[in-house]
Amino acid sequence: MSRVGKKPVAVPSGVTASVAGQTVKLKGAKGELSFVVPDEVSVTMENGAITVSPRSESKTARAKWGMSRAQVANLVEGVTKGFEKRLEINGVGYRAQVAGKVLKLSLGYSHDVDYAIPAGVTITTPKPTEIVVAGIDKQQVGQVAAEIREFRGPEPYKGKGVKYADEFIFRKEGKKK
């Protein structure tokens, strides 16, 4: 039994939710999102809450039950509060700046890395060594942050590179003479 799937997702005031077949649509202050629930799972709207339940007791239906409920909960949180990921840049001369619709990264390569900011995501640089990725779609925010981190991931010897703000880098000892 799914522990996550049993709980109904409460729809807060200021958010309009509609369930049409397998599609859940939510509209709130931050924007509008929708999610198509897999066929193994049924979704209903009752008493100001969205309830998700499996259609059968098969292993795939039970697996998709909790996932579908979590996706709907992420939609509700996205249209009310939004999501953000913070990245830190460590290294001498490493920095970032936003120029229009492009994030310019100086990461120790012979050239600057230009990252085109996708629609639905806002990127800000409060400091040259800090990047904030924000948006209403949790998956898209996480994907953009992962793509930025991938340009120069943190290395274990000096800790140089792009890392998540809450990430811990295991450090290694260097060569000995």
CA distances from 97 to 92, 94, 108 (A): 16, 11, 15
Confidence band, pLDDT 50/70/90 cuts, at residue 15? confident
Beta carbons of 139 and 153 less than 8 angstroms apart: no
CB 145 within 8 A of CB 162: no
More confidently predicted of 109 and 3: 109
State residue 4's pLDDT score. Answer: 78
Q: How confident is the model at residue 5 (pLDDT cuts 50, 70, 90)?
A: confident
pLDDT for position 2: 63
Amino acid identity for residue 49 in this structure = A
Query: Which two tokens mark 18?
Result: 């509609």
Residue 111's pLDDT is 94
Q: How many CB atoms lie within 10 A of CB 157?
A: 11
What are the residues whose beta carbons fall under 8 Å from the beta carbon of 168, sequence distance 6 or more? none
Mean pLDDT confidence for 125-135: 94
Determine the average pLDDT of the residues in 95-124. Answer: 93
Q: What is the arithmetic mean of pLDDT over 121-142?
A: 94
The 3-state DSSP class for residue 147 equals helix
pLDDT tens-place string over residues 59-80: 888 889 989 999 999 999 999 9
Name the amino acid, one letter, at 121.
V
Query: Stretch 88-104: mean pLDDT, rounded?
Result: 93
Structure tokens at 21: 């077949």
167 and 151 Cβ atoms separated by less than 8 Å: no
Mean pLDDT of the chain: 91
Which residues, in sequence order, are CB contacts of 122 under 8 Å at separation 6+?
A: 133, 134, 135
Q: How confident is the model at residue 12 (pLDDT cuts 50, 70, 90)?
A: confident
- The rounded Cα 166 to chain-centroid distance in angstroms is 14
Return the pLDDT at 135. 94
What are the structural domains, with CATH classification, of the chain? 3-80 (3.90.930.12), 83-164 (3.90.930.12)
Residue 5 exposed, middle or buried by CB count within 10 Å (0-12, 13-18, 19+): buried
Q: How many residues does the chain have?
A: 177
Q: At what angle do helices 59-80 and 138-150 cross, to 10 degrees?
A: 90
